């Protein structure tokens, strides 16, 4: 059967999917994908997999794909990060029998992607990307897709998308942010960029960014003309404030247009995990997201959730949170409104808007650093908020610099000196001086003089080896031969 391409691939293989769950590292595992599919998701991606590790490590393949598939989890696209055409194709060949397409990650903006030279940090290397997509398109039995970020310039973004299409990309997901827009500096995703790409290419396009409810999905499709909308963990945005929010991870029923009680989805997810186990770190992370707003109210249970070491323990904390929420519901006065800016009460699934940078921070702080401001706010002990949290975990450790013992400094370099050093130096400086002067420093365990004397004494007892006694590090056959190699 010939390989389907473009719109035929989207309509027949992917079933014309409009509601898509993004690839999320350690967050879009099988159990979460199945939960999302039960509540309106029509297409899911695996977490981003590292192509080079996937090729060389059989356990990595087994744990991240081969044991992470089931008949209900289709259609499915496997995403890889890679920067070498041969390695990318080798990994894709090992994965293609377990999925419906292979996606190349060209959108990850994180520092780990910069260090590994993949993701959004390849977007200027068009020759390399062309060769990767072209080779994969020729060798694979399933289509190749790409997930990209935009350039600041719309016309360059359009040319970028056209280049990928020409190389063999059969479906393009466009995250409407640049690689610099991440974390608290994310801002709003540009649907104008996405709309321009959709008009310029003849393959299906998915939009990513500014999606926090079903109405946003419909509005995005109408405004941009895309075939589908992807919801991730860091995409949705409140347009008025330009602050990044959380979509699918806080409400997996987003594509149903529902905002159910948190415990309903938490219990369903934990039941799926019993059938399809995954690392405890994934489960804990999902529960932190689902219960995010409630954990701001019942913070003692947040500590419990962080400490538990078993799936049963996590489930117990989730049940305790459910009971607390039900008590809050009973105590809620008629006509009361949610606190703060939340659209619903804390026990309802809803987006989480992360705080962005305060525009007036620099002016109000008088140019002082964030750490300096934290130390001022740290209370009577002068500790920053971060150090106060560490002190709670390590109550016997001293974090206040004023309470720590003061160390005497080395006379030469300023490092802490040895307490019993005969030269009042640190070990490094002491070693150099002791060698130069053929001296001992018991405080640092350096015995150059003693070793030299032992060497000369031993030579004096050996027939044919007696020489005129010479001292100093340059003595022939003496000290320099005995200990010189130790200093090389």
Pick the catalytic residue from 44, 81, 108, 349: 108
Bond preceding residue 75 cis, omega within 30 of 0: yes
Chain-centre distance for alpha carbon 230:
19
Neighbours of 13 (CB within 10 A): 20
The span from the CA of 431 to the CA of 447, in Å, is 10
The span from the CA of 337 to the CA of 333, in Å, is 9
Count H helices and E strands in the chain, helices first: 21, 14
**Do residues 291 and 319 touch, judged by C-beta distance below 8 A?**
no
CA separation, residue 452 to residues 273, 367, 445 (Å): 69, 59, 15
The span from the CA of 267 to the CA of 287, in Å, is 10
Determine whether 426 is an active site residue. no
The span from the CA of 173 to the CA of 427, in Å, is 57
Q: What is the Rg, in whole angstroms, of the alpha carbon atoms belonging to the chain?
A: 31
The span from the CA of 120 to the CA of 82, in Å, is 11
Give helix 126-139 / helix 85-95 axis angle, nearest 10°. Answer: 30
Chain-centre distance for alpha carbon 449:
54
Phi, psi of 440 (to 5 degrees): -105, 145
The token pair at 47 is: 């977490």
The span from the CA of 230 to the CA of 247, in Å, is 10
Phi, psi of 441 (to 5 degrees): -135, 90
The span from the CA of 98 to the CA of 89, in Å, is 15
Give helix 280-290 / helix 299-307 axis angle, nearest 10°. Answer: 170
3-state secondary structure at position 145? strand
List CB contacts of 185: < 8 A, sequence separation 6 or more: 356, 357
State the number of CA atoms in the 13 A half-sphere of 396 facing the CB.
Answer: 0
List CB contacts of 41: < 8 A, sequence separation 6 or more: 19, 20, 21, 33, 248, 252, 255
End-to-end CA distance of the chain: 67
The span from the CA of 403 to the CA of 394, in Å, is 16
The span from the CA of 9 to the CA of 87, in Å, is 25
What is the set of active-site residues? 108
């Amino acid at each position: 059967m010939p390989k389907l391409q473009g719109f035929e691939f989207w309509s027949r293989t992917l079933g014309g999917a409009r509601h898509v769950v993004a690839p999320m590292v350690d967050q879009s595992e099988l159990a979460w994908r199945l939960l999302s599919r039960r509540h309106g998701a029509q297409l899911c991606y695996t977490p981003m997999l590292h192509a080079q590790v996937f090729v060389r490590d059989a356990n990595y393949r087994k744990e991240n794909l081969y044991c992470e598939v089931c008949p209900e989890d289709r259609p499915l696209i496997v995403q890889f990060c890679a920067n070498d055409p041969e390695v990318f194709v080798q990994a894709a060949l090992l994965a293609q029998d377990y999925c419906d397409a292979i996606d190349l990650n060209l959108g990850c903006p994180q520092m780990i992607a910069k260090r590994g030279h993949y993701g959004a940090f390849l977007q200027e290397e068009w020759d390399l990307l062309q060769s990767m997509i072209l080779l994969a398109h020729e060798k694979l039995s399933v289509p190749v897709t790409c997930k990209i970020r935009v350039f600041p310039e719309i016309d360059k973004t359009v040319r970028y998308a056209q280049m990928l299409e020409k190389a063999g990309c059969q479906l393009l997901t466009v995250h409407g942010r640049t690689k610099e827009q991440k974390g608290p500096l994310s801002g709003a995703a540009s649907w104008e960029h996405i709309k321009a790409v959709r008009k310029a290419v003849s393959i299906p396009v998915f939009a990513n960014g500014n999606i926090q409810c079903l109405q946003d999905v419909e509005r995005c499709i109408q405004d941009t003309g895309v075939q589908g909308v992807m919801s991730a963990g860091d995409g949705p945005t409140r347009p008025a404030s330009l602050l990044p929010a959380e979509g699918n991870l806080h409400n997996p029923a987003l594509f149903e247009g529902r905002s159910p009680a948190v415990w309903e989805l938490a219990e369903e997810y934990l039941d799926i995990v019993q059938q399809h186990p995954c690392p405890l770190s994934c489960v804990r992370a999902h529960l932190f997201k689902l219960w995010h707003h409630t954990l701001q109210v019942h913070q003692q249970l947040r500590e419990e959730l962080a400490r538990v070491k078993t799936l049963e323990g996590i489930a117990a904390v989730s049940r305790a949170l459910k009971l607390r929420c039900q008590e809050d519901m009973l105590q809620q006065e008629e006509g009361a409104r949610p606190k703060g800016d939340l659209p619903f009460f804390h026990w309802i699934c809803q987006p989480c808007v992360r705080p962005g940078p305060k525009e007036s921070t620099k002016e109000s702080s008088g140019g002082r650093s964030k750490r300096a401001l934290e130390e001022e706010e740290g209370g009577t002990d002068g500790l920053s908020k971060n150090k106060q949290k560490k002190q709670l975990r390590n109550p016997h450790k001293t974090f206040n610099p004023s309470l720590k013992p003061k160390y005497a400094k080395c006379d030469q370099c300023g490092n802490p000196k040895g307490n019993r050093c005969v030269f009042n130096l640190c070990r490094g400086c002491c070693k150099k001086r002791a060698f130069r002067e053929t001296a001992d420093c018991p405080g640092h365990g350096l015995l150059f003089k003693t070793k030299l004397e032992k060497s000369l004494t031993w030579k004096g007892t050996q027939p044919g080896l007696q020489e005129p006694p010479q001292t100093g590090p340059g003595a022939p056959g003496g000290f320099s031969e005995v200990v010189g190699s130790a200093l090389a």
